[in-house]
Amino acid sequence: MDMVTPARRSEIMAGIRSKDTAPELAVRRYLHASGLRYRVHNQQLPGRPDLVFSERRLCLFVHGCFWHGCPHCRDGAREVKSNTSYWSAKIIRNKNRDAHNQSRLAVLGWHVLTIWACQVTDPAALKLLATSIRAIPPIKRSSSRGRARSASVAEPSPPEAPSPN
């Protein structure tokens, strides 16, 4: 069964990413409830990751099984009855683009995790996801600030110039 209308499909295929999809919201709710904090829909990074944990330098994609060719479920292997070769070519292109974006992110020093829509209803998969996120230690952003702080202890900043008033 293909529940996506042709108009909706061309919208998706044109690269207008659907935001706040049910699987995305499920992941966000779970991770937020488990105490993890993130930003959503980063427009600057390759592939526009759904969730970004900047202190961990980690991007998380929540992939729709059909459009991204999920290896775990039937949806990922599903074929559209009409224009089969057209859609399978599209999905192959999507998968190639996903792989390309992930390697670009890796080159930029980002960790990348992907969870599939079919996994977001599985508590074990969500738990594993949260564990995988926590396994990547946050980079202490205070390293430069810390240095600045200890420097200012060693050499106190000069007194402020007297105000002209």
Q: Contact with Zn ion (CB under 5 A): which of 118, 126, 129, 133?
A: 118
**What b/e sequence results for 76-102 when a residue is b if at least 16 CB atoms lie within 10 Å of its CB, and e otherwise?**
bebebeeeeeebeebbeebbeebeebb
Residue 31's contacts (CB-CB under 8 Å, 6 or more residues apart) are 38, 51, 129, 130, 133
Q: How far is the CB of 63 from Zn ion (least distance, A)?
A: 8
Q: How far is the CB of 116 from Zn ion (least distance, A)?
A: 4
The residue among 73 and 136 lying less far from Zn ion, judged by its C-beta, is 73
Binding window for Zn ion (CB under 5 A); candidates: 28-36, 46-54, 115-123, 142-150: 115-123
Q: How far is the CB of 90 from Zn ion (least distance, A)?
A: 17
Based on DSSP, count helices (H) and strands (E) in the chain, helices before strands.
7, 4
Structure tokens at 55: 């202190």
Q: How far is the CB of 72 from Zn ion (least distance, A)?
A: 5
Q: How far is the CB of 60 from Zn ion (least distance, A)?
A: 16
Query: What is the DSSP track for 50-86?
Result: SEEEGGGTEEEEEE-HHHHT-SSSHHHH---SSSHHH
116 binds Zn ion, rule: CB under 5 A: yes
The residue among 62 and 112 lying less far from Zn ion, judged by its C-beta, is 62
60 binds Zn ion, rule: CB under 5 A: no
Half-sphere CA count of 49, side-chain side, radius 13 A: 27
DSSP state of 163: P
120 binds Zn ion, rule: CB under 5 A: no
Binding window for Zn ion (CB under 5 A); candidates: 50-58, 65-73, 80-88, 142-150: 65-73
Q: Which amino acid is at 66?
A: F
The residue length of the chain stands at 165
Q: Contact with Zn ion (CB under 5 A): which of 13, 45, 73, 125?
A: 73
Tell me which residues touch Zn ion (CB under 5 A).
Answer: 65, 70, 72-73, 76, 116, 118
